[in-house]
Chains A and B, each alone.
Chain A
Amino acid sequence: MTVTATAPPAADERLGKPRAMDQLIKRPEIGAMLGALLVFLFFSVVTEQFLSVGGAATWLDDASMLGIMAVAVAMLMIGGEFDLSAGVMTASTALVTALLATQLGLNVWLALLVSLAFALAVGALNGWLVMRTGLPSFIVTLGSFLALQGLNLGITRLVTGSVQVSGMREAAGYESAGFLFASTFQIGGTSFYVSIIWWVLFTVVASTVLMRTKFGNWIFAIGGAAQSSRAVGVPVVRSKILLFMTTAFAAWLVGSINILRYASVQANQGIGLEFQYIIAAVIGGCLLTGGFGSAVGAAIGALIFGMARQGIVYAGWNSDWFQLFLGVMLLAAVLVNNMLRRRAERVRR
């Protein structure tokens, strides 16, 4: 923070502001970090398995699957939009891959590629519909959420006669694709899923894009004030459509990890997860109104989720308590975020 030699008279009012708060405004993930630390310490003390390597492998894996999506959803939320179809998309992509590989006998790699194209097309359609109609993305993606849910069940039942697709293990290319998406690696004699690496990688890339690139600057701008951004030449429509395609890509990644790990997929999977993604993003410092947030924060939000969900299991409590915990966390996060925004947006004349 630099202070110019000759402070203008107007600056005097600003000098009274506490420094710590200024820093918080710049780092939206601070609150989530603090929360994560608390949850970590709490379950480390209360339970025995939590701090063990095996325990860590479990809650990190839980957090990773949620985290990949939460990070993508956070980018979209910073860009000022929601995607309610994100949860169901993880099932849709897995189903497309599984049906192509098991029913048509396609090589798994080829099936994954088609599934990726499908995901990107749905994402682009979501984005295009939102921008074209000018309707809130909440409503548009609620529509695509229901449509995809219906398609998942309908097509799966039509093709297989049941509501699940299995038998991936026999498909050509399952081993090599599985290595990339669903293998494990050893640390201290304990297996960690490779999804954790995908999660970290995705977070690093997303955060770099957000903070260090032109496009990242545009994401914050279109979420904060789309009209102003357009007026200075930011391609608002293209950027938003790209963000919807990013969440679709993340859903494809998670769907692929799922199908290759479990070799089967339920047609009704993924429903309800979309809210968990949004909650993780909000806990990580994203504003519901857009224009503010962090990818790292969303990843930490997912970490809190994973730690609490598994911690409660280790503690031997009923999992009902997880929902209570979630509700309290969400409310606390929204209150903190709101306060930060009011500080940043306060208009002085």
Chain B
Amino acid sequence: MTSLIETENIGKTYGSVIALSDVSTVVNAGEVTCVLGDNGAGKSTLIKILAGVHQHDQGSFKVEGEEIKFSSPREALDHGIATVYQDLAVVPLMSVWRNFFLGSEPTTRFGFLDSKKGKAVTRKALSDMGIDLRDVEQPVGTLSGGERQCVAIARAVHFGAKVLILDEPTAALGVKQAGVVLKYVAQARDRGLGVVLITHNPHHAYPVGNRFLLLKRGRALGSYEKSEIDINELTRQMAGGAELEALEHELRGVEA
């Protein structure tokens, strides 16, 4: 079976800044590939390449076995790659259903918006994902952060995404809300989507992930299958391993 997404030694430079280099990973259907790394590790650059916002300038990027270079997010969407960004998942002042259909609005024969269908489909799609909203006409801004992410995830699933890229979906959320979002990530995975989960929290990544790609300063620090690594080792690597131990030592020195 060919992977949904496969990158090989992919890289990107902005002028003289090397944002990403030599990163290889795969995303398979029904699996979650987690991308972990600290701020500035190149996570955003990687997903922006996958999502069609930026173009890579080294290595190869294959979608379903076919070498590709997206020129716009629309093109990535047309290939079934949907991205949910941390802060910009939705338009806060617009209603839930209008957000849900944004960019793929249902129209009647005469070219007008079919709001009745829009609302019904939105309600159905959300409840299929187990999201229970009181009113699909309320502005998305009145939803909690977790609910907004869920709306965005349900939207991607509904519109037939094959690959779902989630940029720090749990970053700004409380413990409980983060758990809810992770539940929907697992649900999307079980529906056969390939998921790319970007996070800097190994405790969020480990329970749902099948594969872990660790990035640091634009390079791959390591790529592991779940069977090859446990949560403690993942956390240790993420935090910078030896560096953290040195820092801990230093901090103890301050205390004393």
Contacts and interface: CB of A to CB of B under 8 A. Distances in A.
Interface of A: 1-4, 6-8, 10-11, 14, 22, 25-26, 208, 211-214, 216-218, 220-221, 224-225, 227-235, 287, 291-292, 341, 343-349
A4 B51 CA distance: 35
B139 A228 contact: no
A217 B113 contact: yes
A235 B75 CA distance: 12
Interface of B: 51, 53, 73-74, 77, 83, 85, 88-94, 98, 101-105, 107, 111-113, 115, 127, 132-135, 137-139, 141-147, 155, 172-174, 177
Contact of A220 (B98, B111, B137): B98
B142 A14 contact: yes
A2 B126 CA distance: 15
B90 A228 contact: yes
A1 B137 CA distance: 8
Given A212-B112, A213-B113, A220 B132 contact: no
B91 A229 contact: yes
Contacts of B89: 228
B113 A216 contact: yes
Contacts of A6: 132
21 contacts: A4-B127, A10-B147, A14-B142, A208-B112, A224-B92, A225-B91, A228-B91, A229-B91, A232-B73, A232-B77, A232-B102, A232-B104, A233-B74, A291-B91, A344-B141, A345-B92, A345-B93, A345-B141, A346-B141, A348-B145, A349-B174
Contacts of B91: 220-221, 224-225, 228-229, 291
Nearest to B147: A10
B104 A233 contact: yes
Contacts of A7: 132, 134
A2 B132 CA distance: 12
A348 B144 contact: yes
A227 B53 CA distance: 11
A233 to B, nearest CB: 4
Nearest to A341: B93
A14 B133 CA distance: 11
Contact of A348 (B93, B102, B135, B143): B143
Interface centre among B73, B102, B133 (most CB of A within 10 A): B102
A234 B104 CA distance: 9
Contacts, number: 124
A227 B88 contact: yes
A4 B133 contact: yes
Contacts of A213: 107, 111-113
A4 B124 CA distance: 12
Contacts of B173: 349
A26 B134 CA distance: 16
A233 B103 CA distance: 5
- For the complex of A and B, the 6 pairs showing the least CB-CB separation, nearest first, are A228-B88, A233-B103, A232-B103, A224-B91, A345-B141, A344-B139
A22 B145 CA distance: 20
A231 B88 contact: yes
A22 B146 CA distance: 22
Contact of B144 (A10, A225, A232, A341): A10
Interface centre among A3, A208, A349 (most CB of B within 10 A): A349
A227 B105 CA distance: 18
Interface centre among A1, A26, A216, A217 (most CB of B within 10 A): A217
B83 A231 contact: yes
Contact of A8 (B132, B138, B174): B132
B123 to A, nearest CB: 8
B105 A217 contact: yes
A101 to B, nearest CB: 37
A235 B142 CA distance: 26
Contacts of A292: 93
Contacts of A224: 91-94
Contact of A349 (B92, B102, B142, B145): B145
Contact of B132 (A4, A228, A343): A4
B115 to A, nearest CB: 8
A218 B89 CA distance: 15
Contacts of B141: 344-347
Interface centre among B51, B89, B174 (most CB of A within 10 A): B89
Nearest to B90: A228
Given A220-B98, A344-B92, A344-B142, A349 B83 contact: no
Contacts of A287: 93
Contacts of A343: 142
A229 B152 CA distance: 12
Contact of B102 (A11, A22, A229): A229
B134 A14 contact: yes
Contact of B113 (A10, A212, A221, A346): A212
Given A220-B98, A232-B103, A3 B134 contact: yes
Contacts of A233: 73-74, 77, 103-104
Contacts of B105: 214, 217
Contacts of A216: 113
A217 B135 contact: no
Nearest to B143: A348
A156 to B, nearest CB: 43
A216 B115 CA distance: 13
A4 B119 CA distance: 14
Contacts of B93: 220, 224, 287, 291-292, 341, 344-345
B85 A221 contact: no
B38 to A, nearest CB: 23
